[in-house]
Amino acid sequence: EAGVTQSPTHLIKTRGQQATLRCSPISGHTSVYWYQQALGLGLQFLLWYDEGEERNRGNFPPRFSGRQFPNYSSELNVNALELEDSALYLCASSQDRGLATNEKLFFGSGTQLSVL
């Protein structure tokens, strides 16, 4: 069974540009979560999508956005990139909507975004 896949592995952009990150969840999982892993800050919750809709977002500005497609894959878009957006962006999926039973998240390997 394929795990959570993310692309690209690395992405280099300059300030002001836009970045698009992609995530394919495990087959059968309808919930997709995006996290930012900045150096020394741990994982910060960004966005949660389920059944094609944004269900919740973390404390990030509106230039962080995304969407979920009918096949449950997801995109994370970051507009007007700033230097501090440089981080590892992790996608996770779960079969359990909202993880109400606190079942585990399955994480992808991440996209390393570097903003120069």
Partner 1 sequence: AQSVTQLGSHVSVSEGALVLLRCNYSSSVPPYLFWYVQYPNQGLQLLLKYTSAATLVKGINGFEAEFKKSETSFHLTKPSAHMSDAAEYFCAVSNTGGFKTIFGAGTRLFVKA
60 interacts with partner 1 by CB under 8 A: no
Which of the stretches 3-11, 59-67, 69-77, 78-86 binds partner 1 when contact is defined by CB under 8 A?
3-11
2 interacts with partner 1 by CB under 8 A: no
98 interacts with partner 1 by CB under 8 A: yes
18 interacts with partner 1 by CB under 8 A: no
Q: Which of 78, 90, 113, 115 forms a contact with partner 1 (CB under 8 A)?
A: 90
- CA torsion, points 106, 109, 113, 114, in degrees to nearest 10? 140
What contacts 22, CB < 8 A, 6 or more positions away?
6, 7, 8, 73, 74, 75, 76
C-alpha closest to that of 108 among 26, 12, 16: 26
Q: Which of 76, 87, 89, 110 forms a contact with partner 1 (CB under 8 A)?
A: 110
59 interacts with partner 1 by CB under 8 A: no
Answer for the pair 11, 21: CB distance below 8 angstroms, yes or no.
yes
Residue 17, phi then psi, degrees to nearest 5? -75, 175
Answer for the pair 47, 36: CB distance below 8 angstroms, yes or no.
no
Residues in contact with partner 1, counted by CB under 8 A, come to a total of 30
State the residues that interact with partner 1 by CB under 8 A: 3-4, 6, 33, 35, 40-45, 48, 55-56, 90, 92, 94, 96, 98-100, 102-110
